[in-house]
Amino acid sequence: MTNSKYKLTKKDFNQVNRRNLFTFQLGWNYERMQNTSYLYTVLPQLRKIYGDDTEDLKEAMKNHTQFFNTSNFFNTIITGTNLAIEEKEGIESKETVAGIKVGLMGSFAAIGDSIFAALLPAIFGAIAANMAVNGNPTGIFIWIAVNIGVMYFRWRQLEFAYKEGVTLVTKMQSKLSALTDAATLLGVFMVGALIATMINIKIGYVAQIGDLAVNIQDKIDMVLPKLVPAGLVGLVYWLLGRKNMTATRAIFIVLFVSVALSALGVIAKI
């Protein structure tokens, strides 16, 4: 049963932030990426919300071991929002929580990594390096100050997101269902975008009809570009639904079949 009387405190926020800053990537894995790290980050708070060794706690833990991967610089926004919703709604909010994670992780991954993992290091790293080359030690302090600022931003966003999450569930109760649907739909769009941009597979077979060479890939692109990558994702999705099939086995199946088809000239070498 959810402990609805428990409210997260400053001590809880500090604990989540410490775990997030220093251990979030330690549980990274190729199958579900940051899922165990996310669960470890919020587990003490889940115990306080749901109670120790309860069915609701087990269900919540299971819900948080689903696939999760986003920018380290924005992940606590998702964490804070979800903690606020779970604190208010309990296990009944698990679909909303999962939908928010799926819907926001792709957007935050792109924004966070672009700004904090690429833009800021490129700009301030270049300034600091140029000053260091010219014998000016101020450059190193600029670099340190930037990183301290980034860490402060990461530390503060959790409590801000939590407070906004409380506002969400208290003042927008009727819209939670719409939020879940919107977040899930956004997640579907993000998956589609990733398929189109990250999966690069083309049919290399060219059919000979008399003196006419027919490029199969060109014909497919005329019907629907990126149809082959979408078909591959659909096949892998179907495989993962089979009994005793794991993500690791599916990866090896795709690897071996791809090598074989490439050797036979069915798919093109990229």
**Residue 57 burial class via C-beta count within 10 angstroms: exposed 0-12, middle 13-18, buried 19 and up:** buried
* Predicted pLDDT at 171: 59
The structure tokens listed for 208 are: 């000979």
What CA–CA distance (Å, rounded) separates 264 from 216? 15
* Predicted pLDDT at 218: 84
CB atoms within 10 A of CB 204: 17
The whole-number average pLDDT for the span 238-263 is 88
The whole-number average pLDDT for the span 78-103 is 88
* Predicted pLDDT at 52: 85
Name the nearest CA neighbour of 153 among 8, 17, 62, 48: 17
- Return the half-sphere exposure (C-beta side, CA atoms, 13 A cut-off) of residue 45: 29
The whole-number average pLDDT for the span 210-215 is 78
Query: Please, what is the average pLDDT of the chain?
Result: 83
* Predicted pLDDT at 92: 87
Using one digit for the tens of pLDDT, what is the confidence trace for 155-202? 999 998 898 876 755 555 556 566 656 666 766 776 777 777 778 888
The whole-number average pLDDT for the span 33-44 is 93
For residues 100 and 143, the answer to whether their CB atoms sit within 8 Å is: no
Residue 37 pLDDT more than 90? yes
The whole-number average pLDDT for the span 110-138 is 80
pTM, entire model? 0.63
